[in-house]
Structure 1
Amino acid sequence: MSLRERLGGAFKDQSELDLTDGAIGWPLFYLSLPIVVTNLLQTAYNLADTFWLGQYSTESLAAISFAFPMVFLLISLGMGLSVAGSVLVAQHVGAGEERQAEYAASQTVTFSILASLVLGVVGYFLVGDFLALLGASPEVLPGAKAYMQVISLGIVFMFGFFVFVALMRGYGDTVTPMLVMAGTVALNVALDPFLIFGWGPFAERGIQGAAVATIASRALAMAVGLGIMLRGSRGVRIRIEDMRPDFQYLRKILRIGVPASVEGTGRALSVNLLLYVVALFPTTVVAAYGVGTRVFSVIFLPAIAVARGVETMSGQNIGAGKPDRAAATNHFGAKVMFVVLTAMGVVIWLAADPIVAVFTEDPEVVDVGATFLRYVAPSFGFIGVMRAYTGGFRGAGKTLTAAALSIFMLGVVRLPVAWFGAHEIGEEGIWVAFLVSNVVGGLLALAWFRRGTWRDGDLTEGPTGAPADD
């Protein structure tokens, strides 16, 4: 019996889910649950790096605090293409246009690979200057630069796998990406200590070794993902003949994808600019900030997963001409995430010290990191609300609205509050900025969604380059 068959009792195939009819809760749950697992496994890459580098040295832990936001920035610059592909696939599937969904997926793969190659080359040569601009200290800069240069050279593999996940999700298959991720994350976790510490026949590479382990794992994940889509036996299919660059179709992808890239890039830039504020404080504060943001990346997994599920269900229902069902999906997801993440915030507030202590033995880092978690934990539920509604905006093709919400929350609220707070009350002013911006973002997303301007988001009328169904 295959692994997929063994997991059949817990996860449903796309063919078993009707996202455009019947109940909302169970389809959203079965769509989102594998995304939670996939994102948890994806986060395991970062957590493994953080754990092993925390054992290696405090300087390495601080270096990874600078490197991770830069990885996020590089990926965000191109993530709009994968979002566009996911939305187009979802709406075409909802409208019953299987062949056009395949064409959208094939074109997305082509342009994502081209974009990642360009970003990788540019990133390799500029990461050192960018890290120095952000205020990385002389002790931290060499390690962060070494990590980022390896990541830049392999960014195409990271892009490739993210596109595979997005396209399969748009089709409604979230199980297959989860299984692919499960295998490759095991490789990364196994390689990390050998390449960082130089165990066995490997040379000691420190922080650079963590980057090599990540890229090797992602390369395998991309190869498997592309193979699955080319074969077409599960989820969306890509065709070699459809992968020839169609610049007429690219305009449609960019119309959806550019605002999504702006949203992701805005998030990444805000994190990087926030590092400029964090860098005003000692290395222990920088390390605590890195640990705290890694913890958030785990806590927010359910919200991110539900947002992706809402995105897919909204896209398919809008493609099927059912905007009221799309709206109900958004409201349901927001309510559930508010309750779940508020409960998780209570747990984090109570257990902040032992959670931070998992990543470092430095008592000062533990103390600062625990304070960070306790400031932000009460606002977790509002992040769930914002994520759910922005997922709905993206599913409707209203990626510009999602981008505007993100930029306002991070650039207009969080960064200014952090800057003035840091100068007035010290590092705790940064933690206050997280709390305030999360609450404002959640309330604003709810108010904007209720305006109803997302309902005219049907994207199934495509350029002539998209083939008709067979």
Structure 2
Amino acid sequence: MSNVAATVKAKSLVSDPIKPTLWRMTWPVIIGVLTLISFNVVDTFFIGMLGTDPLAAVSFTFPVTFTVISLAIGLGIGTSAVIARKRGSGREEHARFDGAVALVVAGLLVSGLSVLGYLFLEPIFTMLQAQPRLMPYIRDYMHVWLIGAALLVLPMVGNAVLRAAGDTRTPSIIMASGGLLNAIFDPILIFGWGPIPAFGIQGAALASLLSWTIGVVLVLWYLNYKQLLTLIAPAGASFMHSTKQILSIGIPAAGANMLTPVAMGVLTAIVASYGAPAVAAFGVGTRLESLASVVILALSMSLPPLISQNFGAHSFDRVAAAYRLAVQSILLIQLVIYVVLVSLAPYIAAAFTDDPEVARIIRLFIYIMPLGYGLQGIIILTNSSFNALHRPLSALVLSVFRLFVMFVPLSYLGALWFDLNGLFVGGVVANCITAGVAWYAFQRVLGQEQRHYQEVGKTA
């Protein structure tokens, strides 16, 4: 595809009917996310075959790896928002330059973070209360993982460049391919095959490194083929200015992503007071939530480019219509998912455990918590829409309000008054209140942007 063809594709986001456009962009992401989640489960399965200690060691690495991944996600959000807005306003050369800058900045930032992680590995995991016997496993895994971390972030930011141009199919293929390759390399490198020795837990990190390397090659080749990158700064652009624009959205977005595991850690501690069966059931419930929220996650990736491009074109009615369609769709889809989960609750519980108490709590979780998933979807979509409107601090404030003003406190109060039933109900009530606030806040911000544009037009 030539650069002209890419421009035509970008223009479709500001002119084609919203409903088919949004779903054309969303369904490939759904497949990619669902596939990636499935392969991540396979990854955990193979590591678990090494024994309890290797699995526990990898579990301890989650806060560190999630910090890097959150930075990558935030940079991807910033990249997509900046590039899509410029494409919507017709500044193609600026968008291509910003794409190249985003890749360079992402590589430099994550490389710097990896060096710090490498140098302070022992103190970090000692602070995380990792037992001494697990440290050799953690070192084996993290030394390789940190070396390849920059290779993880580059495909994520490259995919954001593609989504900003209206292409969600290719990023989904790259995402799914990476997960598939990782699942193929895992057993070969962990357990050995033919002349390839068994690397144990280090093999899992090597499998990731290898799949990331292939992902980098694919995404850079494709971006170059589509002529979506340039290192030549157009008039009025500079490396520092582009960096500032991307980071002004990317850093707050990364911070907002990091809040979720913190809140879930607090909630897990509350659940732990009810005993091991409650913790086990809550763990199953959170995994079910990730599967039940695949469409929400997919829409949170496909909606922002549509909003950003129309925002750049000053098509505020189309921005409002796209947001409204996404919210209505999520509420309907999550209602259907809730009915399916409730219908299958006894079978789901039986598939995960033979313990009657754990099974009872899993069923309780399913009967209550998924009622709030559609409402939670409104909050997530509003956050991604705020970033698309270049309002990252609004997204960050909404995340803090949802998690630490509503979700954790109301869940805790519910647990105090009505035990686990109350904890789950408190979470649903928190999502309900925050969803209303999110809807109102988005309408208010969009109205402000529209009035600002009209005032500037009058004075121009």
Q: What residue number does 1:406 align with?
A: 399
Corresponding residue of 2:70: 76
Stretch deviating more after TM superposition (213-222 or 168-177): 213-222
> How does 1:287-436 map onto structure 2 within 5 Å?
288-352=281-345, 354-355=347-348, 369-418=362-411, 431-432=424-425, 434-436=427-429
Residue 229 of structure 2: aligned partner: 238
SS of the residue 1:92 aligns to: helix
The 3 A distance-change label for structure 1 pair 65 and 340 is farther
Unaligned runs of 5+ in 1: 5-11, 461-470
Residue equivalent to 1:119? 113
> Could you tell me whether the CA contact under 8 Å between 1:375 and 1:435 is conserved in 2?
yes
**Displacement after TM superposition at 1:347 (Å):** 1.8
Tell me by how many angstroms 1:101 deviates: 0.6
Aligned-pair distance for 1:402? 1.3
Alignment counterpart, residue 167 of structure 1, candidates 161, 164, 170: 161
Distance 1:150 1:366, change over 3 A: farther
With normalisation by structure 1, the TM-score equals 0.81
Decide which structure has the larger Cα Rg and report it. Answer: 2
Aligned residue among 35, 41, 45 for 1:41: 35
1:262 aligns with 255
Question: Would the aligned equivalents of 1:55 and 1:360 in 2 still touch at CA under 8 Å?
Answer: no
Choose 155-164 or 276-285, whichever is displaced more.
276-285
**CA 1:358–1:221 in structure 2 vs 1: closer, same or farther (change >3 Å)?**
farther
Structure 2: distance between partners of 1:14 and 1:62: 50
Q: Distance in 2 between matches of 1:325 and 1:63?
A: 48
SS in 2 for 1:21: coil
Deviation at 1:88, TM superposition (A): 1.2
User: Structure 1 residue 242: deviation in Å?
Assistant: 5.2
Compared with structure 1, are the counterparts of its residues 186 and 81 closer, same or farther at alpha carbon in structure 2 (3 Å cutoff)?
A: closer
> For the structure 1 residues 360 and 190, does the alpha-carbon distance in structure 2 shift closer, same or farther, using more than 3 Å as the test?
farther
User: Would the aligned equivalents of 2:97 and 2:231 in 1 still touch at CA under 8 Å?
Assistant: no
| Fraction of identical pairs, as percent | 30
Alpha-carbon contact 1:334-1:386 (below 8 Å) kept: no
Find out whether 1:213 has 2:207 as its counterpart. Answer: yes
CA distance in 2, matches of 1:194, 1:14: 44
SS at match of 1:451: helix
How far 1:225 moved relative to its partner? 0.7
Encode CA deviations 1:297-332: one digit per residue, 9 max, x unaligned: 222121122122221111111111111110111011
Tell me if 1:249 matches 2:242. Answer: yes
Q: Larger deviation: 196-205 or 379-388?
A: 196-205
Corresponding letter in the other structure for 1:445: A
Give a deviation string over 1:329-355, Cα, whole Å, max 9, x none.
101100000110121122223324544
Report the secondary structure of 1:20's partner residue: coil
Which sits farther off after the overlay, 89-98 or 123-132? 123-132
Residue type of the alignment partner of 1:164: G
> In the comparison of the two structures, how many residue pairs are matched?
447
State the distance in 2 between where 1:276 and 1:128 align.
25
Structure 1 residue 442 displacement after superposition: 2.0
Relative to structure 1, is the Cα distance of residues 58 and 315 closer, same or farther in structure 2, using a 3 angstrom cutoff? same
Q: Which moved more, 1:198-207 or 1:34-43?
A: 198-207
- Contact 1:397–1:458 (CA under 8 A) maintained in structure 2: no
Task: Output the amino acid matched with 1:169.
Answer: R
Q: Are 1:396 and 1:455, in contact at CA under 8 Å, matched by a contact in 2?
A: no
Deviates more, 1:15-24 or 1:317-326: 15-24
Per-residue deviation, 1:180? 2.1
Alpha-carbon distance in 1 for matches of 2:92, 2:132: 54
Tell me which moved more, 274-283 or 167-176: 274-283
Comparing 355-364 and 414-423, the one that deviates more: 355-364
Alpha-carbon contact 1:334-1:385 (below 8 Å) kept: yes
1:151 is the counterpart of 2:145 = yes
Q: 1: distance between equivalents of 2:425 and 2:139?
A: 30
CA distance in structure 2 between the partners assigned to 1:373 and 1:206 by the alignment? 36
Unaligned runs of 5+ in 2: 454-460
Matched, 1:19 2:10: no
CA distance in structure 1 between the partners assigned to 2:430 and 2:135 by the alignment: 29
Partner Cα distance (2:353, 2:195) in 1: 27
